[in-house]
Every structure is written in structure tokens, then in C-alpha cells.
Chain A
Amino acid sequence: MTPVRMIVCVKQVPDPEAPPASYKVDAATNRMATPPGVSPVISPFDENAVEAALKIKDAKGGKITVISLGVGLLRDVVKKPLSMGADELVLLEDPAFADGDSWSTAYALATAIKKIGEYDLILCGRQASDWDAGQVGSGIAEILGLPSVTIAKKIEVLDGKAKVERVLADGYEVMETPLPALITVSNELGEPRYPTIKGIMAAKKKEPIVWKPADIGVTPAQVGAAGRRNKVLKLFQPVREGKCEIVGGDSPEEAAVKLALRLREAKVF
């Protein structure tokens, strides 16, 4: 049984489970202000990608290198995949990497992955919960010239190949790809495991490897905001009208009956 060498890309994002009201746009920068009191997390689909890698490691053995790009990466947040069972953490952490688009982010990650060198499988979440673009995974695959399978719900590695179930609107398709390959992972793969106490202790002792643009052989102009191919002209929050008519009653059952009558009156059905 050959151990599988895996690289998982993860992104630190504001917690998408935070109440919608806590999100406020900073009009001066055209960016989302970090919601106060909301701590960042690993983007949920990226945690699914970590889980996919851990399942493969459980079945076949292997090594998982996690890579994350950004600025202000909180060690407790980006070390979570280590505490879940990943082996190594590489951070592309430099102001030059910040505020990229899908293209410049994919370019920086692909260049870093080339530096890591040997791998069988690259895993990404299907899309990040901040910009919801879903482009970085496929972008990395195209830059590295690798086969890609997107939106996977199950991955099995068998001698030099991966068998992947890809989610479709009305079911799924079973695909087989030679390795190395890039696969993006969806929530249908299943809940990511919780870190164990042992895992958390082990993660505390591991220091991330930090790379600056020069370490991966790129100039600041090629990555982050400077390397963007698209620009955000405007970021805004649509106004919600909030005109819900709450139907009450002395009991839940009475409210239910009144709701049905009110809907009939309003010709809703």
C-alpha cells in the first residue's frame, strides 16, 4: 500500500454562521468589515476537503500538507486541520498576498505547490464562504496542467488513480482520474471530524512554515491585489423590506388556523 501524498488548500474567512445582521460593508475600501465579535474560521467546504484527505489517510496512509494564503492568519484557526490530523502547515503570509482574486490566488497557490514538489492529490473546498467564487481549485489545476474533478462527495484512492463521486443536480456521477489530480470537495462528503485532545496538543507543538513571495519565486506584483484580473467596483448590501405579517393567536394551534385563513383571504393558495 503506497502512502498518498496530499496537499489541502484552506482559507481563513469570517464565520459564515454569524448572524447576517453582523455583516457590514466598509464603503471606503469596498470590502466587508470583519464583523465585531465574530471570530474567523476555516471556510466550511475547506474543512470538508481536510476531512476527505483524512479519510484517504485513514484508508491508505499518507501525508497531508495544508496550505493557507492570507494576512493576519490566526494560528489557532489555521492550525485546526493539524489538530484534526494533518501533518504539516505551510502559510503564504504576506501583505503582498492579500486581497487577490481567484486568478492571483490560484497563481500563488499553484506556485507554492510546485515548490512543495511531490504530491498525488490536491484537495480544495468547492468554494470559499466569503466571495463564493468556486474558481481557485480549477484555476490551480489548469495552471499546473492537472486533471480536475470538482464538487466531489466521495473519494477513494486506488493504485495511481482516484475514484470520485461528483455531485450532479439529479444524482451523481462516478469518475476515475489518474493521479496526480486536483479535486474540489462539497459538504455531501460528510461532517468534518472534531479535533481530538491529542491532536490539539500535537498541533500546538508544530510550527507552520511561512513563505513570502520571494520564497516561491514570485514578485509582489504577480500576486494578491496587484495580480488581480478583475476588480470589485462596488460592494453593497441590498435593503431588506422586512414586511412580514405575523399571525398570532392564543395558542400555536389557533395561530396556525388563522394563518391558513389569512393566506386564503390573500389568495396565496
Chain B
Amino acid sequence: MAENRGVMVYGEVAEDKLAAITTELLGCGRKLANDLGQELSAVLVGTGVSGLAQEAIAFGADKVYVVDDPLLASYQTDAYITVMDKAAKQAAPRVLLLGQTMVGRDLAPRLAVRLNTTAVTDCVELAIDPQSKFLLQTKPVYGGNARAVYTSETFPQIATVRAKAMTPLAKDSSRKGEVITIAAGLEPSVVRAKVLQKVKEEVAGIRLEDAKVVVSGGRGIGGPEGFKQLEELARILKGAVGASRPPCDNGWVPEGYQVGLTGKIVTPEVYVAVAVSGSSQHMAGCSGSKTIIAINKDPEANIFREARFGVVGDWKKVLPAFTNKVKELLAG
């Protein structure tokens, strides 16, 4: 095999556009490629995705590999591993970046084994070591209680990257690049685990990931009724309601409300944490918020180490008075 060169980004598509995570990966990948003095490529896998190649170039790619095939209409492990194995062997990058998404989480570890290399998941910082030129991969470990810096010496060095950890470049539609088509060459028989149905859980109001204000409740809320009060505050602040894991596990709110290491990553302007202890697992999903406000009766709760403003007190007494005052201030 030829010498491995360059950085490759696995592109994800959402609603016929490049997913936000992909533009973030291209922004980060551009910098890594520049540091290596090599090129940045993107790979787009799916059905009808070739039209997005120019968009990937506009966000920083020099070259786009397109694998467009009817059998790739939606993500499926066996099919996507097969074509990514082929694309990675053809392009032979030094570095391969994927999002820490439901696709990247599934694809990266298995692809790493197939390519006889290794992956580091959920990275929040990536850099090229100036001496060795190997990728240094920093990821939170122990539920966010520590960070580890990894490296490896087999190519491609694969990393999945946490949402919103990297910044996209400004879109430059005048950028030029090369588009290369790879034939999927898939035998339908490679597909073993099949998707029968997708069930979308509709969320009323603003999407948690897009909200400028998030009002989150924790174990201390005690039941589904309490979340109605959180919804009231969220409505006044034009925000969305989230939760730490216990309310989701207990069925007080839908699973999609979960903010944290294994839930959603949010970076709102304001994050109001109500009766949330602030476990590291939860903070992994919201520590990028601009201002965290905590209401908790335990003055020792970890959330007060993360918050900018706080009140120590029983949320049942604090929240109604707070909500009323906020409403009054915003009306006035």
C-alpha cells in the first residue's frame, strides 16, 4: 500500500444537507491537514448524496469521494463498513475523522478492526504532534472526571469527535476541489442486520440541540408533574426542556430529553439546572453552555462547581418564585 497521506472526514447528511457535525469535522480536519501539509478529503456515503460534494468543498475539503448507491439509502452497519473499508483503502489517509453520533459510534470501532488499526472515540481536541506527525487524540474519560491524550502508530488513525467540540469554517462557495466517484459494488447479501422501521419521536417546540435556553431537571424533581413547572419556565424563556439520566430512566420524561455523555450535547446561552446534582456524565452534555444556573438544595452538589449563578434551596419553593419574577421582568 502507498504511504498514507492526508486527513479524511466521514460526512453525514441530515435533511439533504451536510450535518452540522460534518462541517465541524471539516473545520477541524482542515487545520490538521494544514499542519501536516497534506490534503483534506471528505467521503459521502448514501443515496443521492453526490450533489453535496460541492458543499463539502465549500466547507474546506480539497477532494470528495462519493459512494452513491440505492443499497446505501440509510445507515446499516454491514453495508457502510464494506464501502468505508473500500474508500479508506483507496484514499489511504493518515487520519480518518467521524462524528460521535449514532452512526460514528457504530461505524468507527468496527471499521478500525477491519482496517487493522485503532480508533479513539468521543474526542474533544485533536492535534498533530509537531515531531512525530502522529495525531494526538484527547477525550474525556471516567464519565468526564478526567481527560486522556491518546496516540497510535497504525494508519489510518481514526477518531470520532464530540458534537460542537470543533468550529466549522465559513462557507466559501468559490472554493474548488476534485470529486471522485467510488462504485459501492455491494452484494445485497452482505447486509445481515436489517432496518425494518424507523420511529421518530416528535418533540413539541424547539429542538433541545438548537435551543438558546435549556431548562433541565434531575432526580430531585421527583416525578413527571414537576417537569410541567420546568416547561413553564422554558416556555417563558423560549427554550427547551432537558433532563439528566434518572428522570429519563424513571420514565418521567421521554428518553430524547437526556442531556449527557450518552444523551444529547447542548451548548445553549443559558442552562438552568434544577435539582440536578451535576454528575460528570451529565456535565459532559452541557458544560459547553455559556451560563449555567443551578437551583439545588444541597450546597455541596457538584453542579455548584460548574455553575456561574446559583440558589441553594428546595426547587419546589425556588422555581415558582423565580419563574414569576422572570416572567415579570421579561414583560416589563
Contact = CB atoms under 8 A, between A and B. Distances in A.
B204 interface: no
25 contacts: A17-B279, A20-B279, A103-B112, A127-B262, A130-B141, A131-B148, A133-B122, A134-B122, A143-B113, A148-B106, A153-B255, A173-B199, A174-B195, A175-B193, A176-B196, A229-B117, A230-B118, A234-B149, A237-B145, A237-B146, A244-B306, A247-B310, A252-B314, A269-B270, A269-B326
Given A135-B121, A259-B322, A268 B146 contact: no
B196 A174 contact: yes
A198 interface: no
A172 B145 CA distance: 29
Interface string B192-213: 1111111111010000000001
A72 B326 CA distance: 54
Contacts of B140: 132
Interface size class, chain A:
35 or more
A59 interface: no
A163 B9 CA distance: 32
A133 B318 contact: no
Given A23-B145, A129-B142, 12 more contacts: A25-B146, A131-B141, A134-B122, A135-B108, A151-B102, A172-B198, A233-B136, A240-B305, A244-B305, A252-B321, A253-B321, A260-B329
Contacts of B106: 138, 148, 150-151
A202 interface: no
A169 B102 contact: yes
Most chain A CB neighbours (cut-off 10 Å) among B119, B147, B151: B119
B113 A139 contact: yes
B184 interface: no
B152 interface: yes
A103 B256 CA distance: 31
Interface SS of chain A: mixed
Please give me the 4 A-B residue pairs with the lowest Cβ-Cβ distance, nearest first: A135-B109, A147-B192, A260-B325, A256-B321
A149 B193 contact: yes
Interface in B111-138: 112-114, 117-122, 136
A168 interface: yes
B308 A151 contact: no
B121 A134 contact: yes
A218 interface: no
B311 A246 contact: yes
B78 A147 contact: yes
Contact of A176 (B194, B302, B305, B313): B194
B98 to A, nearest CB: 13
